[in-house]
Amino acid sequence: IAHLGPLAALKSLAVLNLSANRICSLEPLGACESLQSLNVAGNLLGSLQQLQCLAGLRRLESLRLHDARACLSNPVCATGAYRSALGDLLPGLKAIDGERVSGRGSELYQLCRDLDSSLERGGSGGAGSLEPPGTALPWVEEGYWEQRPARRSSIMEEAYKQFNDVLQECRELSERADDTISQAERALSVRSDPSSYVF
């Protein structure tokens, strides 16, 4: 596929996968106002200006230009900063190339990305050029792991009391049920005629 003109009429189109084609212009997709997810990995998109037409799509949350697993990409992906520029161009995006950039899960992706880049910086110069690490900074504020005194409010105390009352009542019911079952078993074991089982 090289031309997307006929797709401009699809106003209700929500998900579109155009990966592994020969697309160099996304202009017609600017009219697909319901578009939420777009995969154009493996095409001929060479600049961010070619993506400017998507800026008016308020519902667009996911855009894929690069797919590492399928070995699909676009020429625009060759620039290292295309993802941050894409985030600036389309601030409503929640996922770029399958990775969360905002919303639930984005903090984990950012943490992993930061960790990967710090490991690459540390190991890029060979084993002889590694510098000794500096003082490690704590991940959480001081005192986070210390046990805090339990705060008891009257609501919590009342809930705790009610829970214990219900728990005690359940134990008593369980004991009565055990007694009833054992009485029934004894009564059944005394009778020799199976047709005389009456409760």
Which phi and psi (to 5°) does residue 197 adopt?
-75, 105
> Structure tokens of 123?
């190991």
Task: State residue 114's pLDDT score.
Answer: 73
The helix/strand/coil state of 79 is coil
Residue 137 has what DSSP assignment? Answer: P
Task: State residue 6's pLDDT score.
Answer: 94
Task: State residue 191's pLDDT score.
Answer: 60
What residues contact residue 35 under an 8 Å CB cut-off, 6+ apart?
A: 13, 14, 15, 16, 29, 57, 59, 60
> Structure tokens of 139?
């991940």
The CA-atom distances, in angstroms, between 24 and each of 39, 74, 103 are 14, 9, 30
For residues 113 and 116, give the distance between their C-alpha atoms in angstroms, rounded to a whole number. 5
Residues of the chain with pLDDT under 70: 103-110, 122-140, 144-145, 147-153, 191-199
Residue 68 has what DSSP assignment? Answer: T
Q: Tell me the pTM.
A: 0.54
Query: Which residue from 8, 15, 16, 85 is spatially nearest to 50, judged by alpha carbons?
Result: 85
Q: Classify residue 109 as left (phi > 0), alpha (psi -120 to 50) or beta.
A: alpha
The radius of gyration of the chain from alpha carbons, rounded to an integer in Å, stands at 32
For residues 104 and 95, give the distance between their C-alpha atoms in angstroms, rounded to a whole number. 10
Query: Which residue from 51, 53, 49 is spatially nearest to 8, judged by alpha carbons?
Result: 53
Task: State residue 14's pLDDT score.
Answer: 95
What residues contact residue 63 under an 8 Å CB cut-off, 6+ apart?
A: 37, 38, 40, 51, 54, 86, 90, 93, 95, 96, 97
Q: Position 96: which residue type?
A: I
> Structure tokens of 62?
């996911």
> Euclidean distance between the first and final Cα of the chain, in Å?
78
